[in-house]
Structure 1
Amino acid sequence: MATDPLARIVESGVSPWLDDLSRARLASGNLTELIRTRHVVGVTTNPTIFDKAIADGEAYAEQVAALAAAGAGVEEAVRAMTTDDVRAAADVFAAELPQARPGDARVSIEVDPRLAHDTEGTIAQARELWSLVDRSNVYIKIPATPEGLLAITEVISEGISVNATLIFDVDTYRAVALAYLDGLERAKAAGVDLSAIASVASVFLSRIDAKIDPVLEGIGTPEALELRGTAAIAGARATYGAYLEIIGSPRWQSLAQAGAQVQRPLWASTGTKNADYPDTMYVDQLVVADVVNTMPEKTLQASFDHARVPAGEDAFDTVTDTVSDAVATLEAVVRVGVPYEEIIATLTREGVESFIASWENLLATVTAALQDAA
């Protein structure tokens, strides 16, 4: 029986992941506590998260000193610190959730964002990270750029699990899903065990509303104003409709019969950026079976405390019956004058640029720390 709103959401098929990781969180036992008390069954990281963790924390001082004494370069040092954290978190999940559903109890680590438009470089680093972390319950995060899609197919074919990230629209989601199927088919032909390969497709949400809402306000018509705060959730619901089409296809059914795991949609960027909106809107409005919701800790705690769920104890679904309405909403956003495709392209570009900036900040932070330690 569910004891809190987030438990109801979990019972309805959503896997809550934490969108954060730091050595301090690991050392304090906070991650273990969140697994035990807040239903957390996975962790995502990105360059911004590591930049903040290493810049703000003293927990890395001992390792920095050892790396400096060994003459490590900054790239080597960053790789050591981040993969150590991911490996440790993966071990926590393996110990705490030995019976987790396939695809959960995992930690994501992202390839160097400067490789977002370099297919071969992404493939090489995905292999490197997979080997360095050396844990089966890890995802390698690869951005859904055109070059990243090719890399996703290749590393999936080699048996490396992937979190495809920076997805902002249904078309990109479909391209990611097809890249996954291509990789699985190649893996099957090569004799790779399909059941060991997992994948999620990370669909970003709040950034969409933060970009589209001001345009709707600038248009200013009653219809445009009524559409504020709807584009991201409509896009996610339409994406779930595309997911249902894909898993209902003969192509997927053939792979499933060979042991393949479904690539679940993952709702990302779920912290509400507009204070006028409910702080759990990207959680409780997107409850449906077989999805992941990765949340900042603030959103996780809010969802545990007061996510909006129906009365009763039964599982519920706020997505499946809304797909056609969601498509109509996206059409209305375009109809009132929002340059939707242009905004999506901008969000993708800015997402890559933001992660590159965070990575370069991280390199600068670690460079200074190595120099001080030396």
Structure 2
Amino acid sequence: MSNPLEDLSEAGVSVWLDDISRTRLRTGNLTELMSTHKVVGVTSNPSIFDKALAEGDAYDEQVSELAARGVSVEEAVRLLTAYDIRWAADTLRPVYDATDRVDGRVSLEVDPRMAMETERTVAEAKALWWLVDRPNLMIKIPATAEGLPAITRVLGLGISVNVTLIFSLERYRQVMDAFLEGMELARANGHDLSRIQSVASFFVSRVDAEVDKRLRAIGTEEATALLGRAALANARLAYQAYEQVFEGKEWKALEALGAKPQRPLWASTGVKDPAYEDTLYVTGLVARDTVNTMPQATLDAVGDHAVVAGNTVLGSYAQAHADFAALEAAGVNLTEVFGHLETDGVAKFVASWESLLKGLSEKLAASA
């Protein structure tokens, strides 16, 4: 029988796991998923670490040692998360070596409270890169207006970057521009471009969740006919923009120097509406040179019953443009939607980060 995850990989989609925990690492689960589920990368975020630290006792020994040293809660978070990221990076190192440094990547996000501060983001990215000290690390930087120059500068330092919280095509084009500028800066700074990798994390399910809410509020027959159409259309048009940029002369000049393209990464791929097929944001976004990072439930669903029927992005652009036009005609202000999603996305990660700090502070106090 066909293995859907293997089919996905053969179609040019890199399967990454959107989760990490010390328990997962200790039990060898990540190693197992690399074999059984074709996992070749890992992404993390503040929500994932908040959940991991709150469950079980896997972190207790290190927390106790940090408490004995009198480490601040902010520094304790860096040390705890860096430990897990380093472990995952070592686990995935064989993939990194086998894929010429393209996959086998592990992402660690900067403190989301810095999302609107360029200088602090750059400084934090440098500190995390030094702390983890693994070549297959990626530093996650939010694609806010203030994050864009930080992305360029961090890439210019030779640091691999996962650009997160991208919702709109306009912002995505700015992200690709920031990437190209960063690679030019890295070249000027004497870095080996072949060692720098970047992905652009384009969020999917949150788009449908917000647009569908507005369509239901509008309530017309034309509006309800568009339910579940926005997210795939948005992501497919993002891939069209990716093709346009990475077929251009500016990119070809960098590619000749060994640079690798900034791949689109489909994030937030677990469906939020149970009425939708649980593999919708995987099977609907099959395209070469992309990454799909999945939570465990989505990964299991794809492996169990997904039907991967070749590329589902090429040839879809006209319909995607038509869907966007229909959404606007129905009364959905997409510019407003994307602005709200970016602001809300940063706020949610900040809330998770603060929850993580609060929980860890309590654990440190208890240990002390």
Task: State the TM-score, normalizing by the size of structure 1.
Answer: 0.97
Deviations 1:277-319 (A, max 9, x none): 0000000010010000000000001001111223xxxxx2100
Within the alignment, does 1:338 sit opposite 2:332 as a pair? yes
Q: Secondary structure at the match of 1:321?
A: coil
Specify the alignment match of 1:272 in structure 2.
Answer: 271
- Secondary structure in 2 aligned to 1:98? helix
Paired residue for 1:81? 80
Cα deviations by residue, 1:322-368 (Å, 9 ceiling, x for unpaired): 11221221121111100211111011001000000000011011110
Say whether residues 1:360 and 2:359 are aligned partners: no
Gaps of 5+ in 2: none
Q: Distance in 1 between matches of 2:354 and 2:46?
A: 9
1:68 positional shift? 0.7
Deviates more, 1:152-161 or 1:89-98: 89-98
The residue number in structure 2 matching 1:215 is 214
| Aligned residue in 1 for 2:238 | 239
Residue of structure 2 equivalent to 1:157 = 156
Please tell me the residue identity of whatever aligns with 1:334.
Answer: E
Task: Give the secondary structure class of the aligned counterpart of 1:41.
Answer: strand
Match of 2:14 in 1: 15
- Please report how far the alpha carbon of residue 126 of structure 1 lies from its aligned counterpart in structure 2 after TM superposition: 0.2
Q: Could you tell me how far 1:214 is from its partner in structure 2?
A: 1.7
**Aligned-residue offset at 1:101:** 4.9
Q: Is the Cα contact below 8 Å between 1:240 and 1:323 reproduced in 2?
A: no
- In structure 1, distance between residues paired with 2:101 and 2:156: 18
Shift of 1:97: 5.6
State the shift of 1:13 in Å.
Answer: 0.4
SS in structure 2 at match of 1:164: strand
Kindly state the Cα deviation for residue 22 of structure 1 after the two structures are TM-superposed.
Answer: 0.3
Q: Is the 8 A contact 2:95 2:103 kept in 1?
A: no
What is the Cα deviation at residue 19 of structure 1?
A: 0.3
Unaligned runs of 5+ in 1: 311-315
2:52 is aligned to 53
How far is 1:128 from its partner?
0.2
Contact persistence 1:67–1:370 (CA under 8 A): yes
Conserved 8 A contact 2:101-2:136: no
1:348 to 342, 345, 349: 342
Q: Quote the Cα distance in structure 2 between the aligned partners of 1:122 and 1:103.
A: 24
Q: Map 1:150-229 to 2 at 5 A.
A: 150-229=149-228
Superposed CA deviations along residues 115-150 of structure 1, whole A, max 9, x for unmatched, are 000000000000000000000001000000011000
Q: Residue 323 of structure 2: which of 310, 329, 332 is its match?
A: 329
2:28 alignment partner AA? G
Cα contact 1:35–1:96 (8 A) shared by 2: no
Do the aligned partners of 2:96 and 2:105 also contact (CA within 8 Å) in 1?
no
Give the Å deviation of 1:215. 1.1
2:96/2:102 contact within 8 Å kept: no
Aligned to 1:256: 255
The question of whether the paired residues in 2 share the 8 Å contact of 1:16 and 1:42 is answered with yes
Question: What does residue 301 of structure 1 align with?
Answer: 300
Moved over 3 A (4+): 95-98
What is the distance in 1 between the residues matched to 2:95 and 2:337? 41
| CA distance in structure 2 between the aligned counterparts of 1:327 and 1:13, rounded to whole angstroms | 24
SS in 1 for 2:260: coil
Return the offset for 1:222: 2.0
Count of residues in Structure 1 that have an aligned counterpart in Structure 2 = 368
Comparing 213-222 and 53-62, the one that deviates more: 213-222
Shift of 1:102: 3.3
Contact 1:65–1:373 under 8 Å retained in 2: yes
Alignment match, 1:313? none
Q: Structure 1: how far apart are the matches of 2:56 and 2:103?
A: 28
Q: Give the distance between the partners of 2:168 and 2:176, measured in 1 at CA.
A: 13
- The answer for the alignment partner of 1:63 in structure 2 is 62
Q: What are the Cα deviations for residues 224-275 of structure 1, in whole angstroms up to 9, with x where unaligned?
A: 1111001000000000000000011100010101111100000000000000
- Residue 3 (structure 1) shift: 3.4
SS in 1 for 2:119: helix
Q: Distance in 2 between matches of 1:160 and 1:366?
A: 29
Query: RMSD of the alignment, in Å?
Result: 1.0
Identity, in percent, stands at 53
CA contact (8 A) 1:16 1:292 kept: yes
